[in-house]
């Protein structure tokens, strides 16, 4: 599991993520024993900023998102380069924190141009755009789409919730 803090300034996006175990989920979300929650940063130091921001904004997840990911990474003098493919992207309402409730997970709708598109591909680099990636980006330009897995998952959950509350 990961807690992420995303920040966008203009066209530049930054993401910081902290990995934690499923057993720490209720503590990260402030649902567990307060005494244990106070020391979660001791076991998962990268979570400290996430927990502080969650508390400051009184933020709670509305949906949970999961997917399978293939990741290819390389680091050299030009910085880090990565290509990731996310597929089998699923979501469910965050009504409880049971991650095993398989029947409640729904597929996230992808921005498709045809039925064969089943994955989200991300091309990432830190300093210098490699020539091979530049060429690939030109080839893929007609298929380019801005896409957020969380936002795509949130929209159906939001509209279903509105429909339920108006009945």
pLDDT in tens, 94-150: 777 777 776 788 898 887 777 777 888 888 888 888 888 899 888 887 777 778 888
Distance of alpha carbon 40 from alpha carbon 140, whole angstroms: 42
Q: Quick count: other Cβ atoms within 10 Å of Cβ 56?
A: 8
The whole-number pLDDT of residue 98 equals: 72
State the Cα–Cα distance between residues 124 and 72, nearest whole angstrom. Answer: 10
pLDDT of residue 84: 92
Instruction: Tell me, yes or no, if the pTM score tops 0.75.
Output: no
Cα(154)–Cα(167) distance, integer angstroms: 20
User: 14 and 7 in contact (C-beta within 8 Å)?
Assistant: yes
- Using a CB cutoff of 8 Å and minimum separation of 24, what contacts does 2-6 make? 3/28, 3/47, 3/50, 3/51, 4/50, 5/49, 5/50, 5/53
For the stretch 12-43, what's the b/e string if a residue is b when 16 or more beta carbons lie within 10 angstroms of its beta carbon?
eeeeeebebeeebbebbbeebeeeebeebeee
Question: What confidence tens digit (pLDDT) does each residue in 33-47 have?
Answer: 666 656 666 777 778
Nearest to 60 by CA among 96, 19, 24, 103: 96
- Cβ pair 3, 20 in contact under 8 A: yes
């Amino acid at each position: 599991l990961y807690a992420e803090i995303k920040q966008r300034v203009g066209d530049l996006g930054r993401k910081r993520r902290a990995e934690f175990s499923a057993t720490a989920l209720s503590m990260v979300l402030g649902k567990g024993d307060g005494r244990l929650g106070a020391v979660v940063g001791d076991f998962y130091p990268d979570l400290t900023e996430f927990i502080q921001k969650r508390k400051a904004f009184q933020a709670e997840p509305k949906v949970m998102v999961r997917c399978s990911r293939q990741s290819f990474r390389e680091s050299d003098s030009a910085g880090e380069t990565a290509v990731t493919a996310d597929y089998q992207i699923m979501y469910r309402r965050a009504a409880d924190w049971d991650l095993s409730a398989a029947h409640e997970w729904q597929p996230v709708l992808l921005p498709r141009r045809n039925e064969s598109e089943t994955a989200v591909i991300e091309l990432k680099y830190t300093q210098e755009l490699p020539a091979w990636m530049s060429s690939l980006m030109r080839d893929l330009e007609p298929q380019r789409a801005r896409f957020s897995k969380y936002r795509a998952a949130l929209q159906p959950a939001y509209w279903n919730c509105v429909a339920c509350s108006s009945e």
